[in-house]
Amino acid sequence: MNDKDETCWQANENNETPCKNKECRLWLKCKAKQNCTIIAAKDGPLTLQEIGNLHELTRMRICQVEKEAIRKIKQMVYDT
C-alpha cells in the first residue's frame, strides 16, 4: 500500500489486483470482484441469489442472514 491511510481494498481497487489475504473478513473467492466484499458491493444492489453465489451460500441462507441483521438493527435502534 502506498498511502498510510489507504485500506487493503482501496489498494486492490486502485491497482486492479485481486486480494490475496484470505484471512481478511472481507475476502471472498471471486477474482472478478478482486476477492473483496467491499469492491463487490460497489457494483450496486445484488439479488439474494447473486450474493449467495459470491459467498458460496444458498439464496435462502442469505435471506436468513438478512432477516437476522435487520432484527439486530431494529433491536439496537429501539433499545437506545
State the pLDDT confidence band at 5, using cuts at 50, 70 and 90.
Answer: low
Kindly tell me the sign of the dihedral angle through the C-alpha atoms of 35, 56, 24, 44: positive
Task: Kindly report, residue by residue over 18-71, the tens digit of the pLDDT.
Answer: 888 888 888 888 877 878 888 888 888 989 999 998 888 999 999 999 999 999
Query: Of the candidates 49, 39, 78, which has an alpha carbon nearest to the alpha carbon of residue 30?
Result: 39
Cα end-to-end distance, the chain, whole Å: 39
pLDDT recorded at residue 2: 47
pLDDT recorded at residue 4: 61
Question: Other CB atoms closer than 10 Å to residue 58's CB: what's the count?
Answer: 13
State the pLDDT confidence band at 8, using cuts at 50, 70 and 90.
Answer: confident
